[in-house]
A and B are shown apart, each in its own frame.
Chain A
């Protein structure tokens, strides 16, 4: 059972380039989340999805877009990368809402924008 996987694990971009981070889960979870982690800041929610075809903004959504075309996948897009988006990105999923259900995290993607 793979759980939550993220692709790629590492990436270096130049300012202005675009990329898509892929998150996949095989636990049939309804909810999926994208976070970023910066030093001294903890994890901050970028976007989340409460089911296939739905997305919602989190705490820091600017500069990112997401799509949930299939229940098992949640894509995070950067249309025009900026150095401020250098961070570690985590995807997570939970069976239902985060209220009482544990979120299970992927291994993270380390992104550097030069």
Chain B
């Protein structure tokens, strides 16, 4: 069974600073994908970034990058130049053959 661990229940960061949200996973599948989703207070789930297990380079999408360390089974999300609108819940998820397994999430608060 897949397991996703997000060890930080909450994180605080000042506007314009960078922040790293941790995610570790546990799988025996040779091929898998890793996702990060954002859930603002309005409740919708917003896709941020994807990393495939065979991708040679770390994924980037604008201010979001994924620090993928396969040997350590970690897929940390890095948000550069934080903005007030980044305050939200962030979920890491691992994709298996047909389904996603989500972590419990990290609440990020960005202060002015």
Measured CB to CB, the residues of A under 8 A from B are: 31, 33, 35, 40-45, 48, 50, 56, 58-59, 88, 90, 92, 97-100, 102-105, 107-108
Are B99 and A45 in contact, CB atoms less than 8 angstroms apart? yes
Please name all residues of chain B whose beta carbon is closer than 8 Å to the beta carbon of A42 when the two chains form the complex: 4, 91, 102-105
Contact count band on B: 20 to 34
User: For the complex, is B81 an interface residue (Cβ under 8 Å from A)?
Assistant: no
A43 to B50, CA, bound (A): 18
User: Which chain A residues border B93 with CB–CB below 8 Å?
Assistant: 43
B43 at the interface (CB under 8 A from A): yes
Q: Once the chains bind, are A50 and B104 in contact (CB under 8 Å)? A: no
Given contacts A45-B100, A92-B45, A103-B35, 14 further A-B contacts (CB under 8 A): A45-B99, A88-B43, A90-B45, A98-B33, A98-B99, A98-B100, A99-B96, A100-B50, A100-B52, A103-B47, A103-B100, A105-B44, A105-B45, A108-B44
**Does A41 contact B44, Cβ atoms closer than 8 Å?**
no
